[in-house]
Structure 1
């Protein structure tokens, strides 16, 4: 079995190994990119240039456009400012929302800058995050100190999907709404219960600055502030929780803390070239320190554990598509994307039954 799996692993996700990166909007001249890799990046890890490109792209496009909205408000017709604001918001979120959040995600787990330039991390965690509805310094507290430490389990992971019926659209909506409305109070509270007092203070300070700045800007330029800060806050809050819901939509009620049974992995999909290989979610939870560009190889080296843990692998489809099929009751269609590399043999009907078992509410 082991030798057959090793031979199979060299080809199983070859598409992901060979796809060009598509997270950034535009590249930089090669000499400039090489200088950045050599001088700024930790360990001269050249693949992390793609995370840095996302940051640079936003600084050169969305930031000037956002500033322009504030400059134009009060100088031109308000209706026209609103049209420009809507155009800005569509460009900003459709172009960068997914790539920025995942760049922030992976660079929070594994910092990309060398010691000399480490302060540059604040471009994302203190500045650009605000344009995506994320208060300064709060992402680490929510995602790493809470979500990864508690591993999608209740009651201390507020983003846990366990207490919900995960093929229910109503429960899906309630899950996202709870985050958008209550996370600002619940996160500091849960960190306090875990005695993470420094993170409590950071979270409260970040939230306070964020909402204070938005309130002030709104009194000065309400239209620009609505499109630059307020709408992204609501859109991204729902989008981030939709993403977490779909990535943890399958949880084995008999083994909910098993990383191989509390999420799934998606391979050979174009979305992996646009989201820093985020389809490899089992690998990420098993070892969060593995760099995003090493996840496909890490998957190959651990294929036997998929067999032993009866894990879900889907091929040719992304995690958001998996979640959408589940929420739309299309489990038969989803079964066609399931990849068996030695897990328990099931008929299509049996596989759909297993899907349903891993969707039930876990009290």
Structure 2
């Protein structure tokens, strides 16, 4: 499927050799990073996770830290904002959720309404750029919402329960579709019955990637209900199908009302969300150990040292997520460090300085190869 050669200097992939004739014995430390990664290596893009630590910073922006702001801005704007919002979330580090939701509610939704009221192509392009920029962060928010059974404090439970139905169509998500699909993904863990499994595909093949994406975009409305029926859970299958029909019916009504606005602001985000989220999944599970395909350490990839980890709230620690789906995003790097020996013994797949979508594209273009790096 792929050969073991080298990557560009900015990309270092550290993994056990999956070629059977070169594969070291399980638990061998040969050709595996000799030194346990330091805190700086793994988490230099974010503050410490412990809110009681002297270096702890609430996470309110993905582009820069609070400590990097000018003192006057910190005093007049940032600290009052933290004081007002910290009780809205469950952990102080999660103020970033409020930041993203405020932008989408105060800018994204009014933009959507204006597009339907007074459509222009320039406005549509600007709106699309906004949606595209926040597509990743919103998906991460919904991912955490799903596994944490909400993201806001109990006082804000009604908003916590309702915002996915309001913002979902804006960001390309049909109502509850992410919940039903992601639930089955964690049950099947990229196995043969996982509809998003990469097992049956050649992961360095552009044509296979296109088939993978097209199957999800075009057939998931049928395949996921049928999956739940086959698994003896027809009610869940019918619920998903009902929400999908309701969502698409809502979009169809808006297409009838203003076709151009609906296509630009609802249909395009729907397609691009499904394509990008599955490309991300392809990258997360692009390497699978054929000897032990059920190993959580070798059917998923861990990203370290990637700028994307800051913007995706440590989504790169995908192995850690599969090991403990409800683990808080700020805890992933330190759990990774603590479990380094286990990762090493299990020959976990670790990638440095590249994100999942880039990894998928690079492999499909065959412009890079795999390197086992001693770091």
- Normalising by the residue count of structure 1, what TM-score does the alignment of the two structures yield? 0.82
Q: Is 1:50–2:96 an aligned residue pair?
A: yes
Deviation at 1:52, TM superposition (A): 2.4
How is 1:112-261 mapped onto 2 (pairs within 5 angstroms)?
112-143=151-182, 145-155=183-193, 157-261=194-298
* Contact kept in structure 2, 1:25 and 1:54, CA below 8 Å: no
Deviation at 1:283, TM superposition (A): 0.6
1:67 to 113, 118, 127: 113
Cα distance in structure 2, aligned partners of 1:196 and 1:237: 24
C-alpha displacement at 1:200, in angstroms?
2.2
Matched residue of 2:141: which SS? helix
Unaligned runs of 5+ in 1: 74-80, 342-363
Deviation at 1:319, TM superposition (A): 2.4
Q: Residue in 1 aligned with 2:145?
A: 107
CA-CA distance at 1:234 after TM superposition: 1.2
Which whole-Å CA distance do the structure 1 matches of 2:63 and 2:169 have between them?
Answer: 19
Aligned length: 323
**How many Å apart are 1:244 and its aligned residue?**
0.5
Report SS of the residue matched to 1:269: coil
| SS state at 2:294 partner | coil
Distance 1:203 1:25, change over 3 A: farther
SS of residue paired to 1:13 = helix
Is contact 2:60-2:93 (8 Å) kept? no
Q: Is the 1:10–1:300 Cα contact (8 Å) retained in structure 2?
A: yes
Q: CA offset at residue 329 of structure 1?
A: 1.3
Deviation at 1:101, TM superposition (A): 0.7
Distance 1:219 1:7, change over 3 A: closer
The residue aligned with 2:341 is 304
What RMSD, in angstroms, separates the aligned Cα atoms of the two structures? 2.5
Structure 2 residue aligned with 1:36, among 73, 85, 88? 85
Contact 1:184 1:207 in 2 (8 A): yes
CA contact (8 A) 1:264 1:282 kept: yes
Structure-2 separation of matches of 1:112 and 1:201:
27
Give the alignment of 1:22-33 within 5 angstroms: 22-23=61-62, 29-33=78-82
SS at match of 1:61: helix
Q: Aligned partners of 2:43 and 2:130: how far apart in 1?
A: 32
Q: Answer whether contact 1:167 1:327 (CA < 8 A) is retained.
A: yes
Q: Deviations over 1:24-57 (max 9, x none)?
A: 799975324323222x223xx0111112221111
Cα distance 1:31–1:197, how it changes in 2: closer, same or farther (>3 A)?
A: farther
Give the match's secondary structure for 2:168. Answer: helix
Partner of 1:250, secondary structure, is coil
More relative contact order, 1 or 2 (CA 8 Å, 6+ apart): 2
Change in CA separation of 1:62 and 1:339 when aligned onto 2, cut-off 3 Å: farther
Distance 2:210 2:242 in 1: 29
Aligned partners of 1:97 and 1:132 also within 8 Å: yes
Given that 1:167 and 1:329 are in contact with CA atoms closer than 8 Å, whether structure 2 keeps it comes out as: yes
Paired position in structure 1 for 2:9: none
Which SS does the other structure have where 2:215 is aligned? helix
In structure 2, C-alpha distance between the alignment counterparts of 1:198 and 1:120, rounded to whole Å: 27
